[in-house]
Amino acid sequence: MVKFELGYTFLFLLIIVGRASGGIEGVIKVNYKFSGSERTLSALKAHDDKRHLRLLAGVDLPIGGTGRPDSVGLYYAKIGIGTPSNAYYVQVDTGSDIMWVNCIGCDQCPRRGYHGLELAFYNRKDSLSGKLVSCGHQYCKDVNKGSVSGCYGNTSCFFSETYGDGSYSLGYFVEDIVQYDQVSGDLQTKSSNGSVIFGCGGTQSEDLTSSDDALDGVLGFGKSNTSMLSQLASSGRVKKMFAHCLDGVNGGGIFAIGNVVKPKVNMTALVPNQQHYNVNMTAVEVGYQILNFSADVFTNGENKGVIIDSGTTLAYLPEVIYGPLVKKILSWQPDLRLRTVHDEYTCFDYSGSVDDGFPQVYFHFENSVSLRVRPHEYLFPYEDLFCIGWQNSGSLSRDKWNLTVFGDLVLSNKLVLYDLEKQAIGWTEYNCSSSIGLKDEITGSVHLVGAHSLSGASSLTAQMALTFLLLVALLHHSLFNGQS
């Protein structure tokens, strides 16, 4: 059985927090979950399957994302919660909308997680600042999209979430102080905190409590008003903007909340009324030749546009796009002997430079925004072979139109900016080991922030990985049948 050597990757999360006397940037350091481990191709796809089932089911508490196929893994942040503060390792996920951690008394929750990490269990009674969230609280109404039936008095706000793969999480909401680091100047930080409402998990299904993968919870950065980002923005402490830059060469990267002003990024509008970060694609170009698609290819289906998902491992295209794209790529090397690995990956032996022997691919979007994917990004190594990272989502569906989802395969080595205030998203190719500039909205000053490693992760140490990225993954046969 073929396995990939996995490395050590991390993410650096920055939060700009404004106050009357001037703005403050904050930082949450994030690490690569599957550091120092090996994952098989089948495990890679299985994780994508489960992850996107949860994503597409429209649930509030999905599992976090994966990395590239040659460095598979979720990403986790070390944050402090409570007064006094206790440390928690939470998966960072742009595809989910709330933050939650396991709580004291959690049924079936393991005491140790990945690589023997000792897991923490939140106890509101041990925190001087912790308090219950009642069912009449506006946050509870937002989560439930209206008033809670049977709510009376100070009854707690409960949640019961069932994911697309049948797993579930049960618990209630609490409010407490979350600790993170502030940027106090160029490449300098200090401790800060803010009050956040989050889920207190009391019961998890077996799928969510595997000691091989378990962490303390999930930190959601989705579009909903229930996310930590939205909570901080509603209090006027941050702008509803964030960005990530994932270094596919050296490992590491940056995930920043706030107004990134350096470098400049061209933006395209988010598709309205979609649950996730969807954008409208207008054309596909292979080797400087535009593929001949009708306009409805890019708009057909219930889920409009391309989902930009930093936790998905590969890139998934409807069959009507996948077929012509792969055919055009392989036409550059007509003598290749193709073989199928695990009944789903198209692979081949090639001894030359893939960047010299295969075409670049450009995806074009509204407002003249384009995204370039080079051969060494869409072809990944598998033992002594190269495998095609593009995946056919249509082959898993009945209507052959399904989803287009761009994950780490195309997002690495790019600064991706999300502007929820203007409902737009954009990206630019960038050296993710360098620094970016974040503007303090109060003082107008710009602070430089560079990529950083997460220290003090105890047993979770290993070699640097090839790539990096936040959060979400993908596609399963039962999902598509269920949506048809």
With residues binned 3-state (H G I as helix, E B as strand, rest as coil), the percentages for the chain, rounded to 5, are 15, 40, 45
Q: Are 221 and 338 in the same domain?
A: no
48, 70, 247, 309: the catalytic one is 309
* Residue corresponding to tokens 């008095």: 153
Q: Which domain holds residue 283?
A: 264-429
- Active-site annotation holds for 49: no
Is residue 365 within 8 A of residue 283, CB to CB? The reply is no
Q: Are 163 and 203 in the same domain?
A: yes
How far apart (Å, rounded) are the C-alpha atoms in residues 357 and 377? Answer: 13
The neighbouring-strand residues paired with 436 are: 449
Q: How confident is the model at residue 17, as a pLDDT?
A: 40
The neighbouring-strand residues paired with 219 are: 92
Percent of the chain residues past pLDDT 70, beyond the cut: 70
Q: Are 234 and 343 in the same domain?
A: no
How far apart (Å, rounded) are the C-alpha atoms in residues 324 and 258? Answer: 40
49, 60, 70, 93: the catalytic one is 93
Q: Are 94 and 150 in the same domain?
A: yes
Cα→Cα distances 175→3, 121, 168, 437, Å = 43, 15, 22, 32
Q: For 312-326, what is the mean pLDDT?
A: 88
Q: By mean pLDDT, which of 28-37, 66-75, 148-157, 204-213 is the weakest?
A: 66-75
The better pLDDT of the pair 370, 345 is held by 370
| Boundary (domain end) residue, out of 257, 283, 309 | 257
Q: Are 171 and 310 in the same domain?
A: no
Q: For 295-309, what is the mean pLDDT?
A: 77
pLDDT in tens, 222-259: 888 888 888 878 877 778 888 888 777 776 678 788 88
| Boundary (domain end) residue, out of 257, 275, 299 | 257
Helix (H, G, I), strand (E, B) or coil at 244: strand
Q: Are 271 and 214 in the same domain?
A: no
- Active-site annotation holds for 309: yes
Q: Are strands 306-308 and 278-279 parallel, antiparallel or unpaired?
A: antiparallel
How far apart (Å, rounded) are the C-alpha atoms in residues 362 and 380? Answer: 18
Q: Which residues of 174-205 are buried (b: 16+ CB within 10 A; e: fewer)?
A: bbbbbbbbbbeeeeebeebbbebbbbbbbbbb
The better pLDDT of the pair 19, 104 is held by 104
Domain CATH for 145: 2.40.70.10
pTM of the predicted model as reported, rounded to 2 decimal places:
0.77
Please, which residues have CB within 8 angstroms of residue 211's CB and are 6 or more apart in sequence? Answer: 110, 112, 113, 114
Domain count, the chain: 2
In a domain, 341, yes or no: yes
Please, which residues have CB within 8 angstroms of residue 95's CB and are 6 or more apart in sequence? Answer: 51, 55, 62, 65, 220, 222, 276, 309, 311, 471, 472
In a domain, 453, yes or no: no
In a domain, 8, yes or no: no
String of DSSP letters for 305-320: SEEE-TT-SSEEE-HH
The neighbouring-strand residues paired with 447 are: 438
How far apart (Å, rounded) are the C-alpha atoms in residues 421 and 454? Answer: 30
Q: Are 311 and 334 in the same domain?
A: yes
pLDDT in tens, 429-472: 999 888 999 887 778 888 888 885 544 333 333 332 222 222 22
Q: Are 270 and 244 in the same domain?
A: no
Does the pLDDT of residue 74 top 90, yes or no?
no
| Boundary (domain end) residue, out of 225, 240, 257 | 257
Q: Are 176 and 278 in the same domain?
A: no
The better pLDDT of the pair 150, 458 is held by 150
String of DSSP letters for 90-108: EEEETT----EEEEEEEET
In a domain, 36, yes or no: no
Q: Are 249 and 331 in the same domain?
A: no
In a domain, 49, yes or no: no
Q: Are 126 and 275 in the same domain?
A: no
Q: Are 242 and 353 in the same domain?
A: no
